[in-house]
């Protein structure tokens, strides 16, 4: 049961996270029972078998399916971009959104190849979030409202949700969030993102360090970390993850920035992202450290760092294949194949 609204936005988010449903263990048992009689040695499909169990657990049905997969890209701009932390100007965010709409981006081609739906959400690109070095990215009400907007990605019968993002300077805000969540040298969470040069990397590290200093009195609360150091696309992805759980939709998280949304929820309640797979290991160096912190193993490691949901979309192709294999294979009895020991 979801708690009644309190009038305090983050309290309502916390209550929703606390009430998230768990896995359907009966559905998992049904998958295992079928898997045991399919025409293959037990365990021979390795992680593909685990993916089918995961799908059953979170779709809450014994015969999981992928009929309406969606890649949702959330696009936002960031005030910190004015600090010269990216190799590209902030105008590129809108230009890439236009490119998505025209079908010209990498994610468009991957979605065509794997028959995935694609939606792009423009999160007030004309109004960048606050410069995190001197002010919060968002106030509490705006952050919660953006999380609620992200929840809309789970509509229209989606049965597998892949999360991606677009936003110049968003590897800076993600690095700041990871530094706040996990501590250590702030600069150690910073990578080259879109390919900044040495001076740009220095500016990026300075921005993250300044942001942590500005907000240091408020960084013991994961949702405060989200609103102060994150941005609209990170908040929207966090909302989408929560709504997906409520609506029995497994989630595939993309790379460095998308993982920041999941990491915040994990910090609130580690169980909140049990319905998530992590599509790939980003070439942004600190991503592997984050995945270790939250105890997750990515599906792919292809040296990618583009964003746009590309790693999640590629992983969705594997998940689709896993589910189709489980559903379509013959049993030993159907195929007339002798079982082990026969």
Give catalytic residue positions.
308
Task: Give CA–CA dist 40/35, Å, rounded.
Answer: 9
Task: Give CA–CA dist 176/132, Å, rounded.
Answer: 9
Q: Confirm if 229 and 214 have CB atoms less than 8 A apart.
A: no
Angle CA(223)–CA(238)–CA(299) in degrees, nearest 5? Answer: 125
Angle CA(244)–CA(152)–CA(261) in degrees, nearest 5? Answer: 55
Between strands 251-253 and 160-166, the pairing is parallel
Q: What are phi and psi of 150, to 5 degrees?
A: -60, -25
Task: Give CA–CA dist 229/167, Å, rounded.
Answer: 14
Q: What is the CA radius of gyration of the chain?
A: 20
Residue in this structure with the two tokens 């994961």, named with its chain if needed: 222
Counts of helices then strands in the chain (DSSP H, E): 14, 5
Q: Classify residue 78 by its DSSP letter.
A: B
Residue in this structure with the two tokens 């979309």, named with its chain if needed: 313
Angle CA(28)–CA(50)–CA(328) in degrees, nearest 5? Answer: 80
Q: Confirm if 280 and 304 have CB atoms less than 8 A apart.
A: yes
DSSP 150-171: HGGGG-TT-SEEEEEEE-TTHH
Task: Give CA–CA dist 267/294, Å, rounded.
Answer: 9
Q: Confirm if 144 and 151 have CB atoms less than 8 A apart.
A: no
**Residue 304, strand partner residues:** none
Task: Give CA–CA dist 230/150, Å, rounded.
Answer: 14
């Amino acid at each position: 049961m979801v708690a009644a609204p309190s009038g305090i936005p983050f309290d309502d988010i916390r209550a929703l996270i606390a009430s998230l449903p768990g896995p359907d263990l009966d559905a998992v048992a049904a998958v295992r029972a079928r898997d045991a009689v399919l025409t293959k040695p037990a365990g021979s499909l390795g992680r593909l078998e685990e993916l089918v169990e995961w799908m059953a657990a979170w779709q809450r049905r014994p015969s999981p399916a992928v009929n309406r997969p969606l890649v949702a890209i959330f696009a936002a701009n960031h005030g910190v971009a004015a600090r010269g932390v990216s190799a590209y100007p902030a105008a590129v965010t809108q230009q890439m959104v236009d490119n998505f709409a025209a079908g010209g981006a990498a994610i468009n081609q991957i979605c065509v190849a794997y028959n995935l739906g694609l939606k792009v959400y423009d999160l007030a690109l004309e109004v960048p979030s606050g410069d995190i070095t001197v002010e919060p990215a968002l106030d509490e009400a705006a952050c919660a409202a953006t999380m609620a907007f992200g929840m809309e990605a789970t509509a229209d019968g989606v049965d597998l949700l892949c999360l991606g993002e677009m936003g110049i300077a968003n590897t800076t805000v993600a690095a700041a969030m990871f530094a706040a969540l996990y501590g250590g040298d702030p600069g150690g969470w910073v990578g080259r993102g879109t390919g900044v040069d040495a001076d740009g990397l220095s500016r990026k590290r300075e921005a993250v360090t300044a942001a942590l200093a500005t907000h240091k009195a408020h960084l013991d609360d994961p949702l405060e970390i989200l609103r102060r150091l994150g941005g609209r696309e990170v908040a929207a992805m966090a909302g989408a993850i929560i709504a997906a759980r409520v609506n029995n939709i497994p989630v595939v998280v993309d790379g460095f920035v998308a993982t920041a949304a999941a990491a915040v929820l994990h910090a609130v309640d580690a169980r909140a992202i049990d319905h998530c797979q992590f599509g790939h290991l980003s070439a942004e160096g600190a991503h592997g450290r984050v995945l270790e912190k939250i105890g997750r193993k990515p599906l792919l490691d292809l040296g990618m760092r583009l964003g746009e949901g590309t790693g999640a979309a590629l992983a969705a192709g594997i998940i689709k294949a896993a589910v189709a294999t489980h559903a379509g294979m013959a049993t030993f009895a159907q195929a007339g194949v002798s079982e082990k020991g026969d």
